[in-house]
Amino acid sequence: MTINQALKNGIKKLKTAEDGSAILDAEVLLAFILKKDKEFLYTNPTTRPRKNQLKNFYKLIARRAKNEPVAYLTSQKEFYGLDFYVNKNVLIPRPATELLVEEALNYIKKIKAKNLTICDVGAGSGAIIIALAKNIKKSLPKQNFKFMGADISRGALNVAQKNAKAHKIKINFLKSNLLKNLTDKKIDILTANLPYLKNREIRGALKYEPKRALSGGQRGAEIFKKLFRQIPDLKFPPKIIFLEIDDKQAKTLTELAKNLLPQYQRKIKKDFSGLDRLLILKI
């Protein structure tokens, strides 16, 4: 069987997957099995993969047909131009979260500060803090920044540490329930992509991802409320906070921040689709 035939078979089997990305998924999975890029598939359509390669390809296709995310099948996901290792201990990085990184970088470049400490809470795979660190090191090489990441899951921290090592970035990862173990730490900039889905929204492919990284409780905002209540306990409260949010919760979270963190100014940033995606709190 040729590469072209295998691709067609894979695409046909994936027509039942819920997100309608059969062609791209089949390409990614076959390229992964062959250890080639996608361009190779189309420049070598008559090449015949080995039997064990075809067997492994169809195993992945069968799992993907049941809506298991491609990132878990290949153990990798691109985020902000960087490749990250992922497994079922961490949430799969999403393109929507790149807005948070972009806004934080714009702020850092604008203020031209030195000796800042940046902390990402609920770090997961480490995608946010690593993307920030890599870009800061590149654009502001002479500045003395420190980077921290916190997560309640030891499994997630192991993944984050592996990614930091792969990208040759020094980050201090700590086990903590939000800010509970960080009360004496100096934090100038706080970032977080916290769980904000309501329990009933976790269905389909999302069921493969860690529920702890997705669920914000029955109403979706419980974890934000917990974070807001912890911030005044910090010895050095952050000057600015970047939070990814569910657009449907923008009004609720803005009011929550107003009540629990009155010292912070509140700003909502829309994404490219016009949805309220980022809550920025600034002293």
Verify that 36 and 130 share a domain, yes or no.
no
* Residue 92 contacts residue 209 (beta carbons within 8 Å): yes
With bands split at pLDDT 50, 70 and 90, how would you rate the model's confidence at 201?
confident
Verify that 265 and 132 share a domain, yes or no.
yes
Percent of the chain with pLDDT over 90: 82
d(CA 103, CA 278): 9
**Whether the predicted pLDDT of 12 surpasses 70:** yes
Tokens linked to 38: 């996608």
Verify that 23 and 94 share a domain, yes or no.
no
Collect contacts of 141-145 with beta carbons under 8 A, ≥24 apart: 143/113, 143/114, 143/115, 143/116, 144/114, 144/115, 145/115, 145/116, 145/117, 145/118
With bands split at pLDDT 50, 70 and 90, how would you rate the model's confidence at 102?
very high
Verify that 107 and 241 share a domain, yes or no.
yes
Tokens linked to 32: 């992964």
Q: Using CA of residue 196, residue 198, residue 268, residue 183, what is the dihedral sign?
A: negative
Give the total number of structural domains in the chain. 2
**Whether the predicted pLDDT of 18 surpasses 70:** no
pLDDT in tens, 130-143: 999 999 999 888 78
Q: Which of 40, 67, 94 is the last residue of a domain?
A: 67
pLDDT of residue 271: 94
For position 206, which CATH number holds? 3.40.50.150
Give the residue numbers spanning the domain of 237.
76-282
Verify that 208 and 175 share a domain, yes or no.
yes
pLDDT in tens, 20-40: 689 999 999 999 999 999 999
For position 51, which CATH number holds? 1.10.8.10
Verify that 97 and 233 share a domain, yes or no.
yes
Verify that 58 and 86 share a domain, yes or no.
no
Verify that 181 and 47 share a domain, yes or no.
no
Verify that 58 and 135 share a domain, yes or no.
no
d(CA 283, CA 281): 7
Nearest C-alpha neighbor of 150 from the set 198, 194, 211: 194
Q: CB-hemisphere CA count at 13 Å for 176?
A: 21
Verify that 53 and 81 share a domain, yes or no.
no
The mean pLDDT of 168-181, rounded to a whole number, is 97
**Whether the predicted pLDDT of 17 surpasses 80:** no
Verify that 216 and 186 share a domain, yes or no.
yes
DSSP string, 110-170: HHT-SS-EEEEES-TTSHHHHHHHHHHHHH-TTS--EEEEEES-HHHHHHHHHHHHHTT--
Verify that 107 and 193 share a domain, yes or no.
yes
| pTM recorded for the entire structure | 0.93
User: Reduced to 3 states, what is the DSSP secondary structure of residue 217?
Assistant: coil
**Whether the predicted pLDDT of 170 surpasses 80:** yes
Longest Cα separation, the chain:
66
